[in-house]
């Protein structure tokens, strides 16, 4: 059973471009979380999705950021018109609802905005 | 609002020492608490998960305890090794929710 997969692992964008980050949850997991780790800071929750639904986006910046988890395919975190302050590591985690609710993390995508 | 604090922020010890890393949280209505390890530039590796009904969990040289009433968890590392050098994170979801609230971490360096 493959773990949580994220791609690309590293992404370089110039200011004003769009960044698309992909997350494939573990097989059988239908819940996806996105977290952001800014340089020298802790991980912060961004958004929680289930298939075709955004459950909690309270941690997502109001502008330029969006997320989806379609019925088929990976979850996508999209950042429009990137700025230098978006440079960070973006992690996704998945879980399947059980008595444990343990979250399993992907390796992350490191976004650098030039 | 859940807040998670980890003490100490950094720790440097010689190989072989037994270590205690501390985590405190403000919302005691947690569903579980997870301890992770993060190596520089890498992702998170789940070490231990403690259910709210449990008091401790063990995996090899690691033991994690949970005291919900006092809002504390402790990660105990026995006989530390240089390979244990990493940042250790604890995370607790606020009551009723699954999103994890992370502490800032304890940066551990074990030198030979």
Rounded CA gap, B84 and B105, in Å? 14
DSSP codes of every residue in chain A: ----EEE-SEEEE-TT--EEEEEEPPTT--EEEEEEE-TTS-EEEEEEEETTEEEE-TTS-SSSEEEE--SSS-EEEEE-S--GGG-EEEEEEEE--SSS---EE---EEEEE-
- Beta-bridge partners for B102: B91
Name beta bridge partners: A77. Answer: A21, A67
Please identify which residue in the block is written with the tokens 């075709």. Answer: A52
Calculate what percentage of chain B has a pLDDT beyond 90: 75
> Mean pLDDT, to the nearest integer, of B4-12?
95
Under 8 Å between Cβ of A1 and A101: no
**Separation in Å, CA of A80 to nearest CA in chain B:** 24
Cβ contacts of A43 on chain B, cutoff 8 Å:
44, 89, 91, 100, 102
Burial class (CB in 10 A: 0-12, 13-18, 19+), B46: middle
pLDDT digit string, tens, across residues B12-61? 999 999 999 999 999 888 888 999 999 988 889 999 999 888 899 999 99
Residue A100: per-residue pLDDT: 67
Most confident of A28-32, B51-55, B85-89: B85-89
Do residues A109 and A8 touch, judged by C-beta distance below 8 A? Answer: yes
What value, to the nearest 5°, has the Cα angle with vertex A24 and ends A19 and A25?
135
* The pLDDT of residue A25 is above 70: yes
- pLDDT, tens digit, 9 for 90 and up, residues A55-114: 999 999 999 999 999 999 999 999 999 999 999 999 999 987 765 678 899 999 999 999
Does A102 contact B32 at a Cβ distance shorter than 8 Å? yes
Residue of B3, B36, B39, B43 to mutate, interface with A, max A Cβ within 10 Å: B43
Is B44's CB within 8 Å of A91's CB? yes
pLDDT band at A1 (very low <50, low <70, confident <90, very high): low
Residue B95 confidence (pLDDT) above 80: no
Position A28 pLDDT exceeds 60: yes
């Amino acid at each position: 059973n493959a773990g949580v997969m994220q791609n690309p692992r590293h992404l370089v964008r110039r200011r004003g471009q769009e960044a698309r980050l992909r997350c494939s949850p573990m097989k059988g997991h239908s819940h996806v979380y996105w977290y952001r780790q800014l340089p020298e800071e802790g991980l912060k929750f961004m958004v929680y999705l289930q298939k075709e639904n955004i459950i909690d986006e309270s941690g997502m910046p109001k502008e330029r950021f969006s997320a989806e988890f379609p019925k088929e395919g990976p979850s996508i975190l999209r950042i429009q018109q990137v700025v230098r302050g978006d440079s960070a590591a973006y992690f996704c985690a998945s879980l399947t609802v059980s008595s444990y609710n343990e979250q399993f993390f992907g390796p992350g995508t490191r976004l650098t905005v030039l | 609002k859940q807040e998670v604090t980890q003490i100490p922020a950094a720790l440097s010890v010689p190989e072989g020492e037994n270590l205690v890393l501390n985590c405190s949280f403000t919302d005691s209505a947690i569903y579980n608490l997870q301890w992770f390890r993060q190596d520089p530039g890498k992702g998170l590796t789940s070490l231990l998960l403690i259910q709210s009904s449990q008091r401790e969990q063990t995996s090899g040289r690691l033991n994690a305890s949970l005291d919900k009433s006092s809002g504390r968890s402790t990660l105990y590392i026995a006989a530390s090794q240089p390979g244990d050098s990493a940042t250790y994170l604890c995370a607790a979801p606020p009551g009723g929710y699954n999103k994890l609230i992370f502490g800032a971490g304890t940066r551990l360096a074990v030198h030979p």
